[in-house]
Amino acid sequence: MNILSLDPMYSPLHQMIMDEAEDGGRFCILSSFGLSVYFSSVHKFYFNKELDAFKSKVSTDLISLISNIPNHYRNLRLKVDNRALNEEELNYFCCFYLYFESFILNEDIDLVLLHNDLRWQHSIAIEICKKYNVNYLVTEQGLFRPYTTIVDDFGVNAFSQVKLDFENKRKFIVSDIGCNIKSTHNSFFSYYKFTKYLLLSKLGKAIGYDSKYVHKRHTISEYVIRFCKQNLFVSKNVSNDKFTRRIVFVPLQLELDTQLLIHSDFNNNEEVIENISSSFFNCDKANDYDLVFKLHPNDTQNYKFDPRVKITKSIIDDSFLDNVDLVISVNSTAVLNVLETKIPVITIGRSIYDVEGVAQYSSIDKLSSNIDSALRNEFSISNRKNYIEYLKKEYSIHGAGYDYPVNEIKKILRKLS
């Protein structure tokens, strides 16, 4: 089996999948020189060094195709910068399309590994894989953090087919959720390797190895702050707010996250806050409840809130949820904690939680009436336990960081059969 990785997770998972698969060619195409730290025995290529050879082959039809492939970079330009992709960006992406297409055909690639499906290069690669019927697997950090990972043969988040798999009773190997995973993506060793990645990426940018356009330009200072928050200044796992009334709770997405830019009709968190607030205060039950927002832990933005709402920094634990009668979310992973309870959940983005008897999708124009219905207990949660068990034991891969049991790697490869 000939396997190609197009940018790995910030872990050796892609290398581990290659090592466990049947013999064949092993390749990686990278957007950054720094990502090479996650591979030990593959042929490495850096696509920024390869694209000039394809400039003369870009056609108007290809430009039209590329301009319509949804991805984070494209939607960031559309929703934030209020513009379409420019000529230089389109030509660069078209050259990547031609390079990647020629590579998988020339090397007879059987399987492509991708980390995330919405970085611009990954969305293009998936388009090509579908065109030539090449298997691909998308990796992403797990739903049940910090010890799980998602590996999907179609897409992740709202692009995943997990809802359809669950409804069609698609069976996967059942994971041993009691296995002792000793590493996470936030472990000291993971941060050590990530620091090496950051330093080599700076070198790669200087010598022309790194992509001209990136999903996000990482900085060392940003991750030093995050590391300190997660490892040195850890809050106690308790709720610290006192509530005098029952609450309607809204965990916000990270600003400019794919959940907002791709999987919702909102442009930013300001629009989410404004629409939820107006819908809540227009509903019949507003006088009986407090509307409480929580910012994403990594969000440093300042938002405008209606003076009647409250902001919490509480941990979303059982003590906090005891005060909650309804949760509204675009597609936050915080919803998973709620699905272990009987609290109704309304999603306002395209979400894997929109399964009958689990959660309910609402458009904004119907949100007020749906809030009223949910608070009157006109809400079914009959399928929650089965769905959570499916996500946890069958859909999820139990492993993270630098610790993936061999049985879980074999489970990943079984997704191809």
Q: Which helix (H) or strand (E) holds 58?
A: none
Residue 248 phi/psi, 5-degree rounding, is -105, 120
Q: What is the pLDDT of residue 119?
A: 95
In sequence order, what are the residues at sequence separation of 6 or more whose Cβ sits closer than 8 angstroms to the Cβ of residue 157?
A: 140, 258, 259, 263, 331, 352
What is the sign of the dihedral through the CA atoms of 324, 329, 334 and 337? positive
| pLDDT at residue number 350 | 92
CA proximity to 288, closest of 340, 341, 244: 244
Closest alpha carbon to 328 in 287, 284, 288, 278:
278
Residue 66: helix, strand or coil by DSSP? Answer: helix
pLDDT of amino acid 238: 45
Per-residue pLDDT tens, the chain, 417 aa: give them. Answer: 999 999 999 999 999 999 999 999 999 999 999 999 999 989 999 999 999 999 999 999 999 999 999 999 999 999 999 999 999 999 999 999 999 999 999 999 999 999 999 999 999 999 999 999 999 999 999 998 889 999 999 998 888 989 988 988 877 777 766 678 888 877 888 888 999 999 999 999 999 999 999 877 666 666 666 666 555 654 444 445 778 899 999 999 998 888 888 999 999 999 999 999 999 999 988 889 999 999 998 888 899 999 999 999 998 899 999 999 999 999 888 888 899 899 999 999 999 999 989 999 999 999 999 999 999 877 778 889 999 999 998 999 999 999 999 999 999 999 887
Cα-only R_g, the chain:
22
pTM, full prediction: 0.89
Span between the terminal Cα atoms of the chain, in Å: 13
- Round to whole Å and give the CA distance between 254 and 347: 16
